[in-house]
Structure 1
Amino acid sequence: MRILLVEDDLTLGDAVRTHTSRQGHAVDWAKDLENARACLGTVQYGLILLDLRLPDGRGIDLLKELRAKREAVPVIILTAHDQISDRIAGLNAGADDYLVKPFDLGELEARVHAVARRYTAHQVPMIRLQNLQVFPSERRIEKDEGGELSLSSREWAVLDALCARPQAIVAKTQIEEALYAFGAEIESNTVEVYVSRLRRKLGHSIIQTVRGIGYRIAIDDQQRP
């Protein structure tokens, strides 16, 4: 998942980015509102970690802007202000969760997964891929004949990008956006490597290559609108 971290505290920001990246997410770190807005205007994010007090303004104003534009991206507020009024204001502005600094990185990881599950379950509760049932919010794949398949975090990131648009061709660059943060060195064959791994696990015919453009997921015909 591509995550935007909006945090001006260098020590905390580095710790959150490092820990979250190790969980397989691509993390862009904006240290003020100006850069956060620039990131949001460039890439579609799966989650935002948002500090309330920033050098050039209030994080809650950015949250209100997003909700006013009907942007449904989930937002977890990170703040040092443990005031009930701040929590209420953040939740009323459209935040999905709230963490007070200092917090344990393990708790942050759990909150990220919980919020992501809620959104994914609402959008795509289950996807049928031939003899497989994919439950994106639970990170679980069941085989009709019994048993489950296990995917790495990056394999899930690629599969999520494809399943989010089951009728459409997903460009290679769109999949790269799910895997890499800004400034990361992109290896030319990374997408091909993870698509190959997914085919070995899911079945070679499930992910179709559209030469020169990208990839398409072969969902069950009964799920097509």
Structure 2
Amino acid sequence: MRILLVEDEIHLAEALVQILRKNNYTVDVSYDGESGLDNALSDIYDLILLDIMMPKMDGITVLKNIRLQGLTTPVLLLTAKGEISDRVMGLDSGADDYLPKPFATEELLARIRAMSRRKGEVVTDNTLKFGDIMLNTANLKLSALGKEVKLTLKESELLEFLISRKNAATSKEMIIEKLWGFDADVEHNHVEVYVSFLRKKLNFLDSNVSITTVRGIGYSLEVKD
């Protein structure tokens, strides 16, 4: 899962990045509202953690602009404002959830998992299911038919993205933007290498799930008959 964190408190942002990356989330950070909105509009994120009180553009304005552009990315507001009126304003502006500061790490992670479920991903205790495979995004283990194999973080992110696409063809450009970011200096062969690694591990598990090449487009994840 790729998360955008928009937070102007540098020390808090750095701490949250460490926590999220330790839990195998990919995180990008913006330290003001304008850059946060610009990154959010790239539409490469699965979740946005958004502070309200920020320089250049406040979080509510950022949120309203995100929704005006038609983006449905789940947004969790993080703010020191704890009044009911502030919570109502945030939710009415299009936020999916609201977490006042200070908050416990365990609660933040639980909220993120809950929002992932609402988005429609099959997530139970950090586990995604597709065909006969189970991907645990917390410990990066992939299992099927009683066998198990360890994935690298990028392999796990790629498989998670393909699962979320639900049989739809996914281009190499989309994969690069999702896994490395829209301004990353990454070539198509990087994607091809990770697809090859995943195919070998799926074959090792004797899984009925395969990564199919869609000519002229990219890849799709399918369940073999």
- With the length of structure 2 as denominator, give the TM-score of the two structures: 0.75
Using the TM superposition, give the Cα deviation of residue 77 of structure 1 relative to its aligned residue in structure 2, in angstroms. Answer: 0.4
Give 5+ residue unaligned stretches, structure 2.
123-127
Percent identity, aligned pairs only, is 40
Count of residue correspondences = 215
Give 5+ residue unaligned stretches, structure 1.
none
Quick check: 2:157–2:179 contact (8 Å CA) kept in 1?
yes
Structure of higher RCO (CA pairs closer than 8 Å, 6+ residues apart): 1
- The separation in 1 between residues aligned to 2:29 and 2:178, in whole angstroms, is 15
Residue 18 of structure 1 aligns with which residue? 18
Residue 115 of structure 1 aligns with which residue? 115
In terms of mean alpha carbon deviation, does 98-107 or 181-190 score higher? 181-190
Residue 178 of structure 1 aligns with which residue? 178
Using the TM superposition, give the Cα deviation of residue 8 of structure 1 relative to its aligned residue in structure 2, in angstroms. Answer: 0.5
| Mapping for residues 37-186 of structure 1, pairs under 5 Å | 37-121=37-121, 129=131, 132=132, 143=144, 147=146, 154-181=154-181
Using the TM superposition, give the Cα deviation of residue 163 of structure 1 relative to its aligned residue in structure 2, in angstroms. Answer: 3.1
Residue 9 of structure 2 aligns with which residue? 9
Partner of 2:95: helix, strand, or coil? coil
- With the length of structure 1 as denominator, give the TM-score of the two structures: 0.75
Question: For residues 26 and 173 of structure 1, do their structure 2 counterparts lie closer, same or farther at Cα, with a shift above 3 Å needed?
Answer: farther
AA matched with 2:45: Y
Using the TM superposition, give the Cα deviation of residue 186 of structure 1 relative to its aligned residue in structure 2, in angstroms. Answer: 5.4
Per-residue Cα deviation, 1:179-221 (whole angstroms, up to 9, x for no partner): 2357777598654454344324433870123578632222468
Residue 216 of structure 1 aligns with which residue? 220
- The separation in 2 between residues aligned to 1:183 and 1:102, in whole angstroms, is 33
Using the TM superposition, give the Cα deviation of residue 67 of structure 1 relative to its aligned residue in structure 2, in angstroms. Answer: 2.4
CA RMSD of the aligned region, Å? 3.5
Question: For residues 111 and 166 of structure 1, do their structure 2 counterparts lie closer, same or farther at Cα, with a shift above 3 Å needed?
Answer: closer
* 2:210 aligned residue (206, 213, 219): 206
Quick check: 1:206–1:218 contact (8 Å CA) kept in 2?
yes
Question: For residues 89 and 212 of structure 1, do their structure 2 counterparts lie closer, same or farther at Cα, with a shift above 3 Å needed?
Answer: same
Using the TM superposition, give the Cα deviation of residue 173 of structure 1 relative to its aligned residue in structure 2, in angstroms. Answer: 3.3
Quick check: 1:149–1:201 contact (8 Å CA) kept in 2?
no
In terms of mean alpha carbon deviation, does 160-169 or 20-29 score higher? 160-169
